[in-house]
Amino acid sequence: MNTTVRQSTASVKTQAPPVDDSWIPSSCAFCYGSCSILVHRVDDVIVKIEGNPESSVGKGRLCAKGASGLMIHYDPNRLTKPLRRTNPNKGIGVDPGWKEISWDEAIAEIVGNLKRIRQEDPRKLVIQRTTTVTANKNPLQAFAFGFGTPNQSVSGGGLHCGNGAHLISGIMHASWGVVPDFENCNYAMYFGASKGHSAGHCSTSNIGLAADARARGMKLVVFDPMCNFASAKATEWVPLRVGTDAAVALAMCNVVANELGALDIPYLKAKTNGPYLIGPDGKYLREHGSDKPMVWDSTAGAARTFADAKAEDMALEGEFDVGGTRYRPAFALLKEHLKKFSPEWAEKISTVPAANLRRLAKEFATEARIGSTIVIEGVTLPYRPAAAIAFRGNQGHRNSVYNFLAVDLLNHLVGAADVVGSCMGFPPVNHGHPDTGRPSYAPVQTPDGLMEVGSWMGWHHPYPIHDPQLPQTLGLQAVFPMGMTSPLLDAPDREQTWERFGINYRPEMLINWGSNLLMSIANKDTMADSLSKYKFIVSFDLFLTETSDFVDLILPDCSYLQSVDSRANFPTIFSHPSGMGEWSWPIRQPVQPPYGEQRPFTQVLLELADKAGFLPDMLAAFNATLELQAPHRLDVSKKYSYEEICDAELKTNFGEERGLEWFKEHGLIKWKKKPEEIFWRHFIDVRVPIYWEWMVDLGPKVAALAEPRGLHIPLEYYQPMPDWLPCKSHECQQPGFDFFAFYYRDTIHTNSYTTENAWLNEAARLSPFSYTIAINNKSGQRLGLKSGDAIVLESETGRRIEGCVKLTECIHPEGIGVAGLANHWSKGMPTAKGQGVFFNDLLELTWDRTSPVNLNLDLCVKVKVTKIGEAP
Amino acid sequence: MRLAMVIDLKRCVGCYGCQIACKAEHGTPPGVFNTRVVKQEIGEYPTVNLVSLPVGCNHCSDAPCVASCPTGASFVWEDSGIVDIDPDKCVGCRSCMMACPYSNRYFVSERLDYYGDKGPTIIEAYWNAKTQLGVVRKCNFCRDRIMEGKEPACVANCPAIARHIGDISDPTSEVSRLIKERGGFTLQPEKGTGPNVYYLPA
């Protein structure tokens, strides 16, 4: 049949060789993963981006977003000149009447406002950034600290993605998130998470590790209302009613602890606060004087401090008389508490059959192989090859804290936490490069014997929990010590709240970097009202967005291919997966100059600080946050370029000879991980709290501040042991409101920003789910729907979003799944315009839909479905 | 030697990394995908699965596209069995597209730009200068990369390490071993074209 066969020499064509043909090492910036890349530049044109195989961050491979980066960079809709509004009226779709102005004019106007506000009250300035590019935390934070404002916000970051997951991972695993030890795990249970399936931190590296684990035979059970990413690769998909994760997890904890008795007793004694004695008041018995929590020493027959008793002598069960008062170990209380969560009870709440919950709990406990050990690189370590993993979907509810904690307790009951094969934090221990011993961090023991993180991304450490105080910040964070980002900054009743909490200033100026606030937090009307109250908004952007309608000055930013960063990844609780291998510290470097009048925002911030008179304070903040050391500490009486600051950080960490120029040539530095770093838990004497004793006092203290000021604090959210508490959507009884709508993060997009990327948009348009509203086939048919019909989802508060329905077998009959946040309408993002569904427009930014503990937003909405158009 | 690709559906997570890496490698215009990811539901709720299936030219041993080409533009490389298209010989008659049972050939008749009336981006202009209009396009296993000793872009980039390429005429090669050990299968074998893209079951 081969009528035409060609010899290989026939196709050789000659072309003039390029003058410049280079592969430049740098870093992606399309998600937290920030994978290491090689940028192929031919005669000043970036022709391709590939993964950098030298780096352990991404391991030489890229997801669709990373591979498509040059389409954002070369988008003809990029901003190239500073723009000033001429129309003083701000509103959604109201033309700002943009006028091109010079940088000198722009800087002068911003400096004028900064000087005035700094003199009046620096807290009137709000610094706002997207969380997507982790490297930008430091320059924006240094600017804010230098200026003197505590008001920093990260848009929907935290409120949607991790006030629960990150804080609790910090308390229980000393890290920003958790993932199975893919190299050794045999049985993983996921709850609203898709790590290893093209999502989340270390996304690309984890795809390979998870694939290896599947090939090796790791069983994956996924609890999720929708079967698409992790669930599509699962050995078993367990569909459940939206927002009921805590119910199924607690029922399985009950089976493990009370029906099976499959408990890692030595672990619970030595590595948790399970033995700590709890009094009738719910609090620790403390030694008089030292104030140390006490345990019951079975050998001594007496209460002793946790530091004095041997772990094996500590009682986990029983009741003990100390000084005439009865005390019980925390573990005994937890075990008893779990008894109320029967699988039959959980079935009613979650729709997951009780028999399945019993079976899965048994499988999990069996696979944990309690008591076993394994040798890794010559070191004998506990081996618990089972992991229960939760992330965004699980904790995107009012019951954020318990949904996440309940899942994690499964790990701690069987000792599967930060040991081989188990649920692992992204590595929170680093002994540093062998030449310099930097960067160096590890969790440390608190006075109560618990654990404080060694490395953390902004805000306060997750633990110890400080006492609530009257707030300084507009988000009232000081009142809620277990929260991070706050919806209260933009809430409709914020004015009243500020007044009641004694906030004696109001936000006047906003500096935004790369966030589209109008779409990324909640419904657009609430956000528009909040934004329209600012007197002056400056925004560093690549495109005119929906938020631009409220901005006074737009500054044309450089893309990631035109930018420099000494730390492209937040080291290392963001960028490195679990498991052995290498540490990498990559940089980001410009491979193209700015186009037109574009300027790197980092350099603009330094210039603004200088002209507004606070550059020394900003440099001092850099010295502190980057932990710069002599002789590379910045002299605050001098001026520096951002490149010089990057150089100082690199030399501080990696030695005099390895500054920015060395890194520009090499792209990254790497060194070997040690078992003591990765499986640190066995080596560091810290305990995790399976009983949250601090909640006993914290709830009433928060309530004492908040209740008189109009914020109701339901104390059932502040108990030391978790419970299932319904979302607002579970309480909705209105007829016709039959579905729980939720959104999830699509693998092909990073929130809504990448919908402007023409390659990704094209791929998403061809995907069955990326731009549609997924409804269960039978449920949809009952409503007379067919795929492609135009529908409206209406919330019980009357908010409406539109989109095309996709009927599918891959979703729970009561669930409605929407991929991310899209449907832009800005003329400045014409590719993105009209693509997909704007889920956030259903969300209310109200207190009754906010976790009263960590301020996470409730991201599920009970909706009514109405057909408004036939499929074409 | 006959090159074959093996795509491991157990490892693939449907991330579209291959589809976009291919676009980046070849600068294909809108609507053209030398490889793409198809998603398909199998089963009924709750025992359902969403399968991701990457597809592209199957580089058939008895390629009907080659047989049907009146000008010899569609041809087979003797050194590798790669089915390729010589744009200088292609007259755009699309007989090959009618003959291909897999619908993995694309006819590009006019210039289309990703950002519409803004014209081609710098990167699109770069690729426009290298490619012809009025001809059929498709995957050629990244022959230029293979000649440089590299893997095809989709293979090299796959984060799940789900794609492999190798010599299927060598029974000891990795692709031959994977097909044998894992029960590799081809799409629409009943068409009798002898596809050289194999899939390993999920």
pLDDT digits (tens, 9 = 90+) for A101-122: 999 999 999 999 999 999 999 9
Q: What is the pLDDT of residue A579?
A: 87
Among the partner-chain residues B39, B86, B159, the one whose CB lies closest to the CB of A208 is B159
Q: Cα–Cα distance between B80 and A262 in angstroms, integer? A: 57
Please report which confidence band the pLDDT of residue A281 belongs to, taking 50, 70 and 90 as the band edges.
very high
Chain A: nearest CA to B76, how far in angstroms? 5
Residue B188, min C-alpha distance to chain A (Å): 19
Q: Do B159 and A760 touch (CB under 8 A)?
A: no
Q: Do A48 and B116 touch (CB under 8 A)?
A: no
Q: Answer whether the bond into residue A464 is a cis peptide, omega within 30°.
A: yes
Q: Enumerate the residues of chain B whose CB falls inside 8 A of the CB of residue A59.
A: 159
In the predicted model, is pLDDT for residue A369 greater than 90? Answer: yes
Question: For residue A769, is pLDDT > 90?
Answer: yes
Check pLDDT > 90 for residue B177. yes
Q: What is the pLDDT, as a whole number, of residue A6? A: 73
Compute, in degrees rounded to 10, the torsion defined by CA atoms A454, A459, A464, A470: 160
pLDDT at A484: 86
Cβ–Cβ gap A77/B118 under 8 Å: yes
Contact A768 B39 (CB under 8 A): yes
Q: Which CATH superfamily is domain A163-428+688-695 in?
A: Dimethylsulfoxide Reductase, domain 2 (3.40.228.10)
Residue A236: closest CA among B78, B46, B151, B145: B46
pLDDT tens by residue, B48-99: 999 999 999 999 999 999 999 999 999 999 999 999 999 999 999 999 999 9
Which two structure tokens, joined as six digits, stand for A361? 């709990």
ipTM passes above 0.95: yes
Is the predicted pLDDT of residue A13 greater than 50, yes or no?
Answer: no
Is it the case that residue A9 has pLDDT exceeding 80? no
| Minimum CA–CA partner of B43 in chain A | A809
Q: Is it the case that residue A236 has pLDDT exceeding 70?
A: yes
Judge whether residue A46 has pLDDT over 60: yes
Residue A19: strand, helix, or coil: coil
Mutate to test the interface with A, among B40, B112, B114, B143 (most CBs of A within 10 A): B114
Alpha helix (H) residue ranges in A281-353: 330-338, 343-350
CA distance, residue A34 to nearest chain B CA (Å): 14
For residues A583 and A673, the answer to whether their CB atoms sit within 8 Å is yes
Nearest-CB residue to A198 (from B13, B49, B118): B13
Look at chain B and count its residues: 202
Q: Between chains, do A4 and B15 touch, taking CB under 8 Å as contact? A: no
Chain B: residue nearest A746 by CA? Answer: B15
Pick from A214, A232, A813: which is nearest to B50 by CB? A232
At the top level of CATH, the class of A83-153+481-563+593-653 is alpha beta
| CA–CA distance, A126 with A143 (Å, rounded to integer) | 11
Residue A123 distance to chain B (closest CA, Å): 42
Question: Half-sphere exposure of A526 toward its Cβ, with a 13 Å CA cutoff?
Answer: 22
Give the integer Cα–Cα distance in Å for A406 and A248: 9
Q: Looking at residue A1, what is its pLDDT?
A: 39
- Residues A50, B157: C-beta atoms closer than 8 Å: yes
Q: At residue A4, does pLDDT exceed 70? A: no
Q: Which residues of A touch B95 (CB under 8 A)?
A: none
Contacts of B41 in chain A (CB under 8 A): 808-810
**Can you say whether residue A861 is alpha, beta or left, with left for phi > 0 and alpha for psi between -120 and 50 degrees?**
beta
Q: Is residue A634 predicted with pLDDT exceeding 80?
A: yes
Are B48 and A237 a contacting pair at CB < 8 A?
Answer: yes
Give how far the C-alpha of residue A225 lies from the chain's centroid of Cα atoms, to the nearest Å: 20
**Contact between A758 and B46 using a beta-carbon 8 Å cutoff:** no
Domain ranges across chain B: 3-200
- Please tell me the number of Cα atoms within 13 Å of A817 on its side-chain side: 31
Q: Do A2 and B66 touch (CB under 8 A)?
A: yes
pLDDT digit string (tens) for A540-598? 999 999 999 999 999 999 999 999 999 998 887 888 888 899 999 999 999 999 999 99
Test B116 with A830 for CB contact under 8 angstroms: yes
Q: Please report residues of A whose CB lies closer than 8 A to that of B200.
A: none
Residue corresponding to tokens 């090859």:
A385
| B3-200: CATH number | 3.30.70.20
**Spatial separation of the C-alpha atoms in residues A435 and A295, rounded to whole Å:** 43
Instruction: Give the whole-angstrom CA distance, residue B76 versus residue B61.
Output: 9
Please state, in angstroms and rounded to a whole number, the distance separating the CA atoms of residues A138 and A621.
Answer: 9
| CA nearest neighbour of B103 among B23, B35, B154 | B35
Long-range interactions of B52-55: CB distance < 8 A, separation 24+ = B52/A232, B52/B9, B52/B12, B52/B13, B52/B14, B53/B9, B53/B199, B54/B7, B54/B12, B54/B18, B54/B19, B54/B154, B54/B162, B54/B163, B55/B102, B55/B104, B55/B187, B55/B197
Q: How long, in residues, is chain A?
A: 872
**List of chain B residues whose C-beta atoms are within 8 Å of the C-beta of residue A2:** 62-63, 66, 76
> Does residue A15 register a pLDDT over 80?
no
Q: Using CA atoms, how far apart are residues A587 and A343, in angstroms rounded to an integer?
A: 50
Q: Report the gap between the CA of B152 and the closest CA in chain A (Å).
A: 12
| Nearest CA among A842, A844, A840, A849 for reference residue A711 | A849
Centre a 10 Å sphere on the Cβ of residue A465 and count the other Cβ atoms it contains.
Answer: 17
pLDDT value of position A449: 98
Q: How much of chain A exceeds pLDDT 70, in percent?
A: 98
More reliable by pLDDT, A17 or A608: A608
pLDDT at A191 > cutoff 90: yes
Two structure tokens written together for A501: 């909490």
Mean pLDDT, chain A, whole residue set:
95
Residues of A in contact with B115 (CB under 8 A): 75-77, 758, 830-831
Cβ neighbours of B116 in A, within 8 Å: 830
Q: Which residue among B11, B63, B84 places its CB closest to the CB of A215?
A: B11
**A&B contacts, CB < 8 Å:** 193
Q: How would residue A8 be classed by pLDDT, with cut points 50, 70 and 90? A: low
pLDDT tens string A392-426: 999 999 999 999 999 999 999 999 999 999 999 99
Selection from B161, B153, B30, B141 nearest residue A765 by Cα: B30
Give the nearest partner residue to A207 out of B39, B51, B160, using CB atoms. Answer: B160
Burial of A17 (0-12, 13-18, 19+ CB in 10 A): exposed
Determine, for residues B45 and A776 on separate chains, whether the beta-carbon distance falls below 8 Å: yes
Phi/psi of residue A250, each to 5°?
Answer: -65, -35
**B76 and A70: CB-CB below 8 Å?**
no
> pLDDT by residue (tens digit) across B100-154?
999 999 999 999 999 999 999 999 999 999 999 999 999 999 999 999 999 999 9
Among the four given CATH numbers 3.30.200.210, 3.40.190.90, 2.40.30.160, 3.40.50.2000, the one describing domain A21-73:
3.30.200.210
Q: Which residues of A touch B16 (CB under 8 A)?
A: 63-64, 747-748, 763, 767
Residue A706 CA to residue B141 CA, distance in Å, equals 64
Residue-wise over A374-387: b if at least 16 C-beta within 10 A, else e?
bebeeeebbbbbbb
Taking residue A206's Cβ as centre, other Cβ atoms within 10 Å add up to 27
Distance from CA of B171 to the nearest CA of A (A): 22
Rounded Cα gap, residues A581 and B191, in angstroms: 46
Q: How far is it, in rounded angstroms, from Cα A742 to Cα A819?
A: 9
Q: Which residues of A touch B31 (CB under 8 A)?
A: 762
Is A274 within 8 Å of A376 (Cβ atoms)?
Answer: no
Going by the DSSP 8-state scheme, the letter that residue A465 receives in this structure is P
Half-sphere exposure of B179 (CA within 13 A, CB side): 22
> CA–CA separation, A818 vs A742, rounded Å?
6
H helices of A9-102, in order, are: 64-67, 69-73
H or E stretch covering A99: strand A99-100
What does residue B56 show for φ and ψ, rounded to 5 degrees?
-175, -170
Residue of A nearest to B11 (CA): A211
Residue closest to A193 by CA, chosen among A461, A458, A394, A411: A394
Q: Is A779's pLDDT higher than 50?
A: yes
Closest residue in A to B122 (Cα) is: A74
Domain limits, chain A: 21-73, 83-153+481-563+593-653, 163-428+688-695, 728-869
Which of A2-16, A54-68, A340-354, A708-722 comes out lowest in average pLDDT? A2-16
Closest residue in B to A212 (Cα) is B11
- A362 contact partners, CB below 8 Å, separation of at least 6: A255, A260
CATH number of A728-869: 2.40.40.20
Residue A743 pairs in a beta bridge with: A818
Distances (CA, A) of A607 to A108, A508, A515, A600, A639: 11, 21, 22, 11, 9
Do residues A31 and A203 make contact, with C-beta atoms less than 8 angstroms apart?
yes
- Distances in Å between the Cα of A266 and the Cα atoms of A314, A364, A412 are 10, 19, 11
Render pLDDT for A420-453 as a digit per residue (tens, 0 to 9). Answer: 999 999 999 999 999 999 999 999 999 999 999 9
Please work out, in degrees rounded to the nearest 5, the angle formed at the alpha carbon of residue B147 by the alpha carbons of B144 and B153: 50
Instruction: Among A4, A233, A763, select the one facing B16 at the smallest CB separation.
Output: A763
Chain B residues inside the 8 Å CB shell of A60: 156
Query: Helices in chain B by DSSP H: which ranges?
Result: 17-26, 64-68, 95-99, 122-128, 143-147, 153-157, 174-182
- Sort out which chain B residues have CB atoms less than 8 A from A5's CB and list them: 75-78
**Residue A421: alpha-carbon gap to chain centroid:** 23
Rg (CA), chain B: 17
Two tokens, residue A353: 């059959």
What is the DSSP code (8-state) at residue A276?
B
Q: How is residue B185 written in tokens?
A: 């299968």
Closest residue of chain B to A44, computed from CA coordinates: B122
Name the residue with tokens 């960590």: A854
Alpha-carbon distance of B185 to A453, in angstroms, equals: 50
The pair phi, psi for residue B100, each rounded to 5°, is -70, 120
3-state secondary structure of A818: strand
Reading the block at residue A857, the tokens are: 């937003």
Decide if B63 and A1 are in contact by the 8 Å CB cutoff: yes
